[in-house]
Amino acid sequence: MSSAPTTINVPADASSLPMTLPRLYEMKRHGEPIVMVTAYDHPSARAAERAGVDLVLVGDSGAMTVLGYDSTVPVELDELLVLARAVRRGLQTPFLIGDLPFGSYEISDEQAVTSAMRFIKEAGCDAVKLEGGGETSVARARAIVRAGIPVMGHVGLTPQTSTALGGYKAQGRTATDGARIAREAVALQEAGCFSIVFEAIPTGLANEIMPLITVPVIGIGAGPAVDGQVLVFHDLLGIREGLGARFVKRYANLLEDMVSGVAAYAHDVRSRTYPAPEHGYSIDEAELTAIRAELNPDS
C-alpha cells in the first residue's frame, strides 16, 4: 500500500457536466479515465460532487464502513436505501449507482427487479450494481436491464460470496479461474450491463479480458488497463481502521484527524477552556434585570 498523500487543487469547473451513459461511453471511446468512488451519506456525496468524480456508488461496503457490520452479508436493502437517499440529496452531477445487497436479488428475476426499482424510485439512483457473473447473476442482470434499469456488473472478488471464493483474496490466478472470470464478464456484457467492475484480479488477466469488453470497465485492484478506477471513500481518506487491501491508496488520514479533534474538544471541556466568551450569546443588562425581577418577584 502506498500511503503518500497527494494534494490536488479542486478544478474550478468540477461538477459542471452531468454524467450520462452516452458520456460514459464517450469517455471509454476517447480513453479518458473514469473516476468512481463510494459514498454513504450527505457529506461524502458533497465531497464527491465537489471533487468532480464521474460515478458514485452507494456500495454495500457501507455495511462495514458506516454501519459497523463485520462483512457486507447482513446489510438489508432498507438500510442501504436510507444511505442512498442521503447521497442523492448531496449529488447533482455524478451518475449514482445503488449496490444490491446480498439476498435482495438472487431468489428470482421478480425479486431482483423489485429491489432494483426501489433504488430508482425511492432513492433516485440512476442504476444498480450486482455481484457475480454466474448463471444467476447474469439472469438477474438481464431481467433488470429488460425492466429499463441500467445495471453495472461485478466480477473477480465479490465480497458477498467471499466465503465460497476462499476469503477476501485476489481471484483469477489460475488458468481455470481466470478464464471463468473472463467468461463471466462477457456474459454480463451480453446480458446488457452498461459497465462492469473488476475487483482484485491480476493486472495481466485484466489486460487479457479488456479486448473482449466494449462497455466501460471500472477496476479496483485490477491494474491500469481498465477504463476507470473505484476506491471505497473510507479507505482512500483513511477513515477506516486498519491497512485495507493491497490496492488501497491512502490520500488522507482523516480518522487520526477525527480522533485528535474529538480529544482536543474533550480536553477543552474538562479544563473549562471551552466554551470561551466568544461562543456564548449576549443579552442586554436591562432584559436580564427584568428576567431577575420576574423570577424573584419578592426580592
The torsion angle over the Cα atoms of residues 21, 22, 28 and 29, rounded to 10 degrees, is: 170
Instruction: Between 149 and 220, name the residue whose CB sits nearer to ligand KIV.
Output: 220
Angle at 2 between CA 97 and CA 172, to 5 degrees: 60
Instruction: Between 49 and 60, name the residue whose CB sits nearer to ligand KIV.
Output: 60
Instruction: Between 17 and 133, name the residue whose CB sits nearer to ligand KIV.
Output: 133
Residue tagged active-site, from 106, 135, 199, 208: 199
- Tell me whether residue 106 is one of the annotated catalytic residues: no
Give the nearest residue (CB) to ligand KIV.
Answer: 59
Site string for ligand KIV, 198-227 (x = CB under 6 A): ----------------------x-------
Q: Which stretch binds ligand KIV (CB under 6 A): 3-11, 57-65, 108-116, 120-128?
A: 57-65
> What residues have CB less than 8 Å from 243, skipping those under 6 apart?
1
Angle at 229 between CA 106 and CA 91, to 5 degrees: 80
Instruction: Between 54 and 60, name the residue whose CB sits nearer to ligand KIV.
Output: 60
Handedness of CA 238, 241, 245, 246 (dihedral sign): positive
Least Cβ distance, residue 265 to ligand KIV (angstroms)? 31
Backbone torsions φ then ψ of 156, nearest 5 degrees: 95, -130
Among 197, 205, 215, 236, binds ligand KIV (CB under 6 A): 197
Asked if 60 interacts with ligand KIV (CB under 6 A), we say yes
> What distances in angstroms separate CA 100 from CA 9, 23, 115, 270, one per listed residue?
34, 24, 7, 45
Instruction: Between 24 and 230, name the residue whose CB sits nearer to ligand KIV.
Output: 230
Q: Which stretch binds ligand KIV (CB under 6 A): 52-60, 118-126, 173-181, 186-194?
A: 52-60
Please list every residue from 61 through 90 that binds ligand KIV, using CB under 6 A: 61
Which residues are paired to 229 by β-bridges? 35, 219
Among 19, 35, 59, 102, binds ligand KIV (CB under 6 A): 59
Number of residues that bind ligand KIV (CB under 6 A): 10
Contact 63, 162 (CB under 8 A): no
Backbone torsions φ then ψ of 12, nearest 5 degrees: -60, -30
Cell digits for 26? 464517450
Place of cell 479515465: 33
Provide the binding-site residues for ligand KIV, judged by CB under 6 A: 38, 57, 59-61, 99, 197, 220, 230, 232
- List active site positions: 199
